[in-house]
Chain A
Amino acid sequence: MSSESVIVTPGRRLGLTQEYESGPGTYVRNGMIYSSILGTKKIEQALAETSDDSIKRPMLFVERQNTKFAIPVIGSEILGRVVRINPRAASVAIMMVDSAPCQEDFQGIVRVQDIRATEKDLVQMINSFRPGDIIRAEVISLGDQRSYFLATTKNEHGVVFAQSEAGNSMIPISWEEMQDPKTQTIEKRKCAKPVT
């Protein structure tokens, strides 16, 4: 929104909290908004339609063009590759968080009870994921010392890309089956509902 682009360094005072909302790339100390990254200062006007009882202030944020390194937090949607499976859990190498690629893979696990929302007791790991599958999942907890805990309970979450035993990429034919278009063999997966 601001006409000229101002480049700010970390620690630069940008404005007052009475006038602005603190956005990404900024932090608040003593009622002041400070920049926390090296980037361009931007102001985004609040949408007039959001009619809360409080007055909406324009958001002040600092944007950086080239790189943003994503780290998983609770609630973020990830894309990852299934590395190995056992009857209790599948370990996943997290490659993308929301829409930002990770520089290095983070380790996550999908426990068998987090694969789907209903009939959890009947879920079998071997009928849901296989090593090498690319899955979309949600981070439900920062997990233990080693890995993030992931869940694929939502319809949109699950296997998005998988190869059959013959090595061809398969097409989902139902929410729990995928078919190899060449050999016509059907393999079981917890498929993700395609998002348009």
Chain B
Amino acid sequence: MSANIFDRRRVNGPPRSVEPLYTDEGDVKPFTNGGRADGRSLDQLRPIFIKTGPLAVQPTFSPTAPSGSAYYEQGKIRISCAVYGPRQGRKSNPRMGSFDCDFQYAPFSCSWKRRPHIKGADEKEIALILEQAMAPAIRLEAYPKACIDAFVTVIESDGKFATISAAINCISAALADAGIELYDIVAACSMSLNASQWVSDCNQAEEDVSQCSLFVSRMPSADEITYLLQQGKTMPDQTDRAVQTCSNSCARVYAVLSRYLQASMEQPAS
């Protein structure tokens, strides 16, 4: 790399580089000896980490500063979300505000293939799912003519359905951080069917071998499901069972979210 062909348009790497550390996961087949590869029980979720306000900028009222942001981890899934608004949008409805969502995988987020920078059809579809899952929870009538935007970036993905539900939880935390008026915090959880057994919060390897995947997003205080998506074939009673189990898991995620949010408000005061 000589100095005269220095590429100014892109972020250049440092002059010296070190080989990354690879985790040796090998080719562990999921569900080989009856249990899960990571030793979880069938309805156990991966541990969750949340932090609100990682993208906060000083001063708070600069136009580039998001009004709220959140970082979310669930096992290997890492997602960040920034919420802007309420602000003036291009489309305006005098009675209600509008909520827009943007979803993007980072180019390196899926370990099995490199993602292009340009948004694909699946990312646009997931953005729409997120929009529809979150919009019922936002008190849009409190923001006439205004627009609320959420920008979700997946830093690392592990299981499509698990990533979508993690994104929903992340947006919830970011909206609460932004002080947007909400009916409730939306919590989501995913499940996959493997050998007629429902397995909670599957990673990519587990989702790949499953016949059916499903996720539920829920507002627990109103006991309302905001979104339900199933991919694959099941019997009706199997889906019933899954929705029931997912709802219970959502309550657990909700508890984690609200406990964290409460603690985040307590911290600056003390």
Contacts and interface: CB of A to CB of B under 8 A. Distances in A.
Interface of A: 7-13, 25, 27, 29, 34, 36-40, 64-69, 71, 73, 101, 103-107, 142, 145-146, 148
Contact of A37 (B86, B88, B179): B179
Contacts of B139: 27, 36
A11 B221 contact: yes
B164 interface: no
Nearest to B143: A71
B242 interface: no
Nearest to B144: A142
A29 to B, nearest CB: 7
A71 B94 contact: no
Contact of A7 (B137, B257, B266): B266
Interface stretch (B31-39, B57-65, B73-81, B108-116): B57-65
Contacts, number: 93
Given A9-B261, A69-B86, A69-B178, 14 more contacts: A7-B262, A9-B185, A12-B221, A27-B139, A34-B184, A36-B142, A36-B182, A36-B183, A38-B177, A66-B60, A67-B60, A69-B85, A103-B61, A145-B92
Interface residues of B, number: 39
Contacts of B67: 67, 69, 103
A38 B146 contact: no
B258 A104 contact: no
A9 B63 contact: no
Contacts of A65: 268
A36 B184 CA distance: 7
